[in-house]
Structure 1
Amino acid sequence: MHKTFILSSLLVFGSAVGAQAQQVFLDQTTIDRAVKPGDDFYAYANGGWLKANEIPATESSWGNGVILRNKTRARLQELITSTAAQKNKPGSDAQKLQDFYNSGMNTAAIDKLGFQPVQADLKRIEAISTPQGVATEAATQLASGLGMGTAPLFNLGNLADPMSNDVEIVIMGQGGMGLPSKDYYTDASAKGVAIRAKYTAYLQQLLELSGTPKAADRAAAILALETRLAAGARTPTENRNIQKQLNYYTLDKAQQQFPLLGLGATFQKLKVAPAKFIVGQPEFFDGLNKELTATPLATWKDYLRVRVLSSAAPYLSAPFAEASFAFYSTALAGQTQNRPRNERVVATTDAKLGEILGKVYVEKYFTADAKKRMNELVQNVVTAFAERIKSNSWMTAATKEKATQKLSTVRRKVAYPDQWRDYSALQIGPNYFSNVKAATAFELRENMSRVGKPVNRDLWTMTPPTLNAYYNPLNNEIVFPAGILLPPFFDPLADDAVNYGGIATVIGHEISHGFDDQGSQFDAQGRFSNWWTKEDLANFQARGTALSKQFSQYVALDTLHVNGKLTLGENIGDLCGVTVAYQAFKKTPQGQGTQLIDGLTPDQRFFLSYAAIWRQKAREESQRTQVLTDPHSPARFRVVGPLSNLDAFYTAFNIKQGDKMWRPVKDRVVIW
């Protein structure tokens, strides 16, 4: 579930110069030539597109990422439809795919059931008579798959033991709160107060829809409880400190410190017996343990009710689904109209049966030639990164040797897994919510079954159609699902400038996560271990601090600044990604040449391609939520921030002192 606490992701690659390169792979109608490139390169490269496009009512943002996601979902819809047209063997993967999708599309049956699918859960909650019963119920919900939204009380998952990296271990983290982060409970601004009012109204609506009397007072009490839990939680920025998350506990120690949480019973329900496990934020669990007796049992029972109802709401009858949409999609993200039902069900099918759907997706839409080309690009970027380590001016030979060793052992996963997941133990029936719950429980059981066993490094944490990429420091691996290997990120026919400015910068971004402020704390074997000399580490951290200060100066909305500390890892990834990709590009015949295409130099095409992949318009609500909770900077700053530090960009577009993006050479941050 939340094993990604140290997983770095993008959000959210031979030569092709010649006759094929004369095709239009870079659309210049997107350029706004009224903007000086050196004032705002994001607006210059994308201004034409930004003026010509509006955000659809069904979206919280609009840009290449959303457009590609919608294209992929249309393909997945087609694949599901064609699979359903076949005569499938009962119980087969194809039949499960068909049954899951059909159950989600049967709105008549879903609406007729109302909240009946969770009534047994609500009755069980009503019977709770002790504080210990609250913890038992939380474990029951988690094990049964009810933790598909906000899991009650806390989050629980598994990952490779960061210290030894030999076996899978359980990790527990703060959670159980329906708002995006701690700050949402304490924000005294008008917008913060308004969000909490809307959240309370949402909780009230869930209680009313399920027939609970005095819903307004009870919703207010739930918010007050969650606010007290949030007081002991860490902010997203604080949670980036890996050292402070690696708190190892035995069951005896945990039961002594948090006796009311009943962790022994929780592990029994999950069928695990960990010799040790990680508690990410002990102070949160201290507060939670105290709150189990300090808060009236009636309020705890109401809290558990809304956790069930909120998790289930998107998969229940229309009133519940609409209530969930109104808060999480509209109030927090600005989306004014829900996506068509079939698109939502396709997305859920991909999330829950991803490798069944992914297998048929790559069979039809991803070629061996594309994978070969992508692997070539990965190798070229790795080679360039190795050269940059070797020529690094601020790092000693001892640390360079360790960095080179780590880079040389980075595992590479492209497009799809070599071995597909076995879904034979998952039962799919006619009820949509039950199917989602069963698939969630199936995933958790699979994860928990690996606890105490050697780490399986062949597993993927994203489905093949996903438009994203990631670096996992525990496996020291970079992963690029087939879903991101599409234009404008990647086109096997495009000239090198376009592919290197696109997918190669993503490759460089993910490799760089192994050497950012978090990933750099893990060695070549994926162990949490310091491989730096004291002097080199100080130099590296000073460069990170300088980059953090740069980004903290950017204003995203009103007076809301980018959080340079929260976004530091991703900003390092963006800066180093484009830097290394550019160096790799300069090794290609096009990169070494001067041939113009559509009036643009090779370098200009490279930087325009880079700016194009981050093209996006976002609603204010969505961008505010991103700035407060997301480790990625808003799209505009993912372009102007890194490029303002890159000398080659200044040369390519003749950036001069006085231009708004210009920085003195001494202030340009260079890390890798």
Structure 2
Amino acid sequence: MTPPIRPLVLALSLGLLALASTDAHAQRKRAAARAPAVPAQCTDFYAQANAEWLKANPVPADPGAASALGQLAARSLQQQRDLLDAAMQSPQNEVQKRLGDFWASGLDEAAVEADGSKPIAPLLSRIDAIKRAKDVPAAIAALHQVGIPVAFNFAPDVDLKALDRHIGYFMQGGMGLPDPAFYTRGDADTQALLGRYGDYVKQVLALTGTPQARLEADTRAVIDIETAIARKSQSMADLNNPFRTYVPVPAADVAKRYRNLQLAQFLEAQGVKDDLVSLPDPALFAELDAMVARVKPEQWRAYLRWRVGDAMAPYLSRSFREASFGFRGQVLAGQAAPAPRWQQVLEAINTAAGPMLGREYAERHLTPAARRRAGVVIDEVREAQVAAVARAAWLSDEAKAEAAAKLKDLKIEVGTPRRDLDYTVQPMGRGSFGGNMLIASAWRHREEMRRIGKGNADRRWDVLPQQPALAYDIAQNRLIVTAAVLQPPVFDAADPAMVYGAYGALVGNQLTRAVDAKGALVDARGELRSWWTPADKSAWLHLGERVANQYAAYDYPGVKGAKVNGTLVRDEGLGDLAGLELAWEAYAKAHADAKPAERQAFFQAWSRMWAQQLSPNAASERLTADIHAPGPLRSNVPLGNLPAFAAAYGCKAGQPMQRAEAEQIRVWR
């Protein structure tokens, strides 16, 4: 909005010009007629739509960021806190009773301090019982059962050749540093980090009761064991490639091949009876198998004590917590100070018992009417997607048929997972936060293991209902909408503009993932195969290049002299444009008689989701790492490609918010 003083200044200036020269005044009037002022909405729609938010949320101190979606996430945390407070004071059911006790035990810092390392004492005693090499595998299996993976990781994931089931994946793990390269690189910075890590290991070993005389030797044993694992581990790039980590083998063969590790007994201890597992790194497991016999029992005891102490440190007494934060929080994550106690306890509950909290959160914060409305809009946007696919000139007939079949068979889960979990958990009580953490962690591990086997592919989500998220699950051809995301600025059942312009556009973004270049790798039957023709792939690549070029033409807000990395934000930018196109089509069909102001509100709802303030350092970090464009551009760039936006605000081709028709990118319109 123009500051109040500006019209007066402008009027005085024109008045002085008129006194000086009537000819000059006439010339100015003719020029103004030739080039009328561009309305604010057609110059920078983001600034106009978010003016109040930007004024109320100044740029935070360095390094910091504020955003409308960040405020949504913070609100969901507060809602969880309020729910747990109520469950602690007056539980309404057995699940709330367990959650309330868990919460109370974590908030009672005096009790946590008095508890010291008692919660892990039974685990340490189990480890101390290792006397011979054959005792090691059983101890490893026992720690996995309570959710503390040691030596390696084992977790369920989708069978890439039969997407209707999960199998168990044996994967690398058991290292305290996040990247195997930290153990093997010889540069000065890495060696310095490894030195600080050794100091942290020694701290934790001392806290678990290791005698002073053994600290140096046991610390060395821990580093040596983890380094041996690291040398046989994949790079992080390989680890993030699902096709690299999927190597199905009969479970019986794995048990025979690695006899020292006793993997048959391991699977039995986890409650897994499936006949297939994935084991992508036989060299790593051969090394682990050899280490069971080669590494001395006292060295294994040191390593396992360390892993228990490190895993449980955030949930024990202050000395443990301070040691953990000093290395993991400050050194690795660069945090200046730990989160408030309530937030630490909430994070712990979500880690160990998140699905339990999620069920209660949805009951409290998602009404049946809102759930139904959210589902209806998904169906409407899906109809728009089906129609758009059918008319898309750039897709082959074969691809259109497969895309239509996938969209028809799409599974939709709103609020909470379709299939619930078994909430049978032993009573927690309010006596020991660390003990409750182990009880809940063991329960969640049990439920994870129950995902393995035929018919369990959609048992639950990989996100929690209390976490704001809207995502397409490519393996299950499933759209997931969490309870927490169904609130402003994304969703308000009483506000059609927000329902379509914000939520509907996000739905369209994710539905496009079912039929885009990645979605085209899984067909309607859930089989892995590429169903796009070379021409389809080429057309999509061309669309992506055009999107990348559009973004790359803009300066990155808050970073002097830097342009947006168009290639980095290409895929998300393409998804945003596609989602907006579909949402607008669904809105225009459902609200054909919408008034001009209501149509404008659709676009305002889109833009207001991306309200954002970044400190200079935060902006610099996101420039090279964030796959999403900065808020102002995430708002404006897609809108500049939509004639419907121009029509709503009277923008003309060539103005900043409306590209000439030849420059507009069309995905589905």
State the shift of 1:53 in Å.
4.1
* Residue type at the aligned position of 1:605: Q
Instruction: Give the number of equivalent residue pairs.
Output: 624
> Map of 1:386-535 to 2, 5 A cutoff?
386-417=386-417, 420-429=420-429, 430-455=431-456, 457=458, 459-496=460-497, 498-535=498-535
How far is 1:402 from its partner?
0.4
CA separation of 1:658/1:365 partners in 2, compared to 1, >3 Å: closer, same or farther? closer
Give the 3 Å change call, closer, same or farther, for CA 648–285 of structure 1 in structure 2. Answer: farther
The farther-off stretch of 458-467 and 269-278 is 458-467
Structure-2 change in CA distance of 1:218 and 1:518 (3 Å) = farther
C-alpha RMSD over aligned residues? 4.8
Aligned CA distance change for structure 1 residues 620 and 290 (closer, same or farther; 3 Å): farther
Q: Closer, same or farther in 2 for the Cα pair 1:103/1:527, shift >3 Å?
A: farther
Q: Does 1:114 align with 2:116?
A: yes
Q: Distance in 1 between matches of 2:170 and 2:560?
A: 36
Give the superposition deviation at 1:103: 1.8
Task: Report the TM-score when normalising by structure 2.
Answer: 0.77
Q: Specify whether residues 270 and 359 from structure 1 end up closer, same or farther in structure 2 by C-alpha distance, changes over 3 A only.
A: closer
The answer on whether the counterparts of 2:425 and 2:440 sit within 8 Å (CA) in structure 1 is: no
Change (3 A) 1:567 1:596: closer
Aligned residue in 2 for 1:24: none
Q: Which residue identity does 1:609 align to in structure 2?
A: R
What does residue 71 of structure 1 align with? 75
5+ unaligned residues in a row in structure 1: which ranges?
A: 1-26, 30-35
Instruction: Give the 3-state SS of the residue equivalent to 2:407 in structure 1.
Output: helix
Q: What is the correspondence of 1:336-375 to structure 2 with a 5 Å cutoff?
A: 336-375=336-375
**Partner SS for 1:502:** helix
Q: Distance between the aligned counterparts of 1:399 and 1:349, measured in 2?
A: 45
> Residues of 1 paired with 2:469 and 2:278: CA distance?
28
8 Å CA contact 1:417–1:460 kept in 2: the answer is yes
What secondary structure, in the 3-state scheme, does the structure 1 residue paired with 2:414 have? strand
> How far off is 1:264 after superposition?
1.6
Cα deviation for residue 332 of structure 1 reads 3.9
Q: In the TM superposition, what is the alpha-carbon distance from 1:341 to its structure 2 partner? A: 2.0
Write the distance in 1 (CA, Å) between the matches of 2:383 and 2:320: 53
The one-letter amino acid paired with 1:85 is: Q
1:283-325 Cα deviation digits (max 9, x unpaired):
6545655666777766554332222112101110012123323
Distance 1:557 1:234 in 2: 36
1:256-282 per-position Cα deviation (integer Å, ceiling 9, x unaligned):
655544322211211223211112555
Aligned to 2:154: 156
292-301 or 278-287: which moved more? 292-301
Q: Is the 8 A contact 1:41 1:640 kept in 2?
A: no
Determine helix, strand or coil for the equivalent of 1:272: coil
Q: Relative to structure 2, which stretch is displaced further, 130-139 or 285-294?
A: 285-294
Distance 1:66 1:258, change over 3 A: farther
CA offset digits 1:389-430 (Å, max 9, x no partner): 222232210111001100111111112345643322433243
Change (3 A) 1:329 1:423: same
Matched residues in 2 for 1:191 and 1:43: separation?
43
Q: Which residue is equivalent to 2:167?
A: 169
Greater percentage in helix? 2
CA distance in structure 2 between the aligned counterparts of 1:257 and 1:563, rounded to whole angstroms: 48
> Who is 1:81 aligned against?
85
SS at match of 1:611: coil
Whether 1:105 and 2:107 are equivalent positions in the alignment is yes
- 5 Å matches for 1:27-46? none
Q: Matched residues in 2 for 1:195 and 1:557: separation?
A: 30
Amino acid at match of 1:581: A
Matching residue of 2:641: 647
1:467–1:236 distance in 2 versus 1, CA, 3 Å: farther
**Cα distance change, pair 330–388 in 1 and its aligned pair in 2 (3 A):** farther
**Partners of 1:55 and 1:618 within 8 A in 2:** yes
Higher relative contact order (CA 8 A, sep 6+): 1
Alignment partners' CA distance in 1, 2:290 and 2:567: 31
- Please say if residues 543 and 671 of structure 1, whose CA atoms lie closer than 8 Å, have aligned partners that are also in contact: no
Secondary structure, in 3 states, of the residue corresponding to 1:514? Answer: coil
In the TM superposition, residue 170 of structure 1 has moved relative to its aligned partner by 1.4
Deviation string, structure 1 residues 476-530 (Cα, Å, up to 9, x no partner): 111111111111111223351x433322232123323333554432222333333
Q: Which residue in the other structure is 1:15 paired with? A: none
Q: Deviations over 1:640-662 (max 9, x none)?
A: 49936962289759799998999
TM-score, normalisation: structure 1 = 0.76
Tell me if structure 1 keeps the 8 A contact 2:573–2:634: no
Alignment of 1:168-207 (within 5 A): 168-182=166-180, 196=194, 198-207=196-205
CA distance in 2, matches of 1:277, 1:638: 46
Alignment CA distance shift 1:373-1:651 (3 Å): closer
Change in 2 beyond 3 A, CA 1:565/1:289: farther
Provide the rounded CA distance (Å) in 1 between the counterparts of 2:193 and 2:653: 44
CA distance in 2, matches of 1:292, 1:39: 68
> Contact 1:501–1:578 at 8 Å: present in 2 too?
yes
Q: Distance in 2 between matches of 1:648 and 1:403?
A: 24
Residue 77 of structure 1 and its aligned partner are, at CA, apart by 3.0
**CA shift for structure 1 position 39:** 11
Q: Structure 2 counterpart of 1:424, which letter?
A: T
Q: Is the 8 A contact 1:578 1:642 kept in 2?
A: no
Separation in structure 1 between the aligned mates of residue 481 and residue 165 of structure 2, nearest angstrom: 25
- Give 3-state SS (helix, strand or coil) of 1:491's partner: coil
Secondary structure of the residue that 2:480 maps to in structure 1?
strand
1:314 aligns to 2:314 (yes or no): yes
One-letter amino acid of the structure 2 residue matched with residue 448 of structure 1: M
CA contact (8 A) 1:627 1:634 kept: no
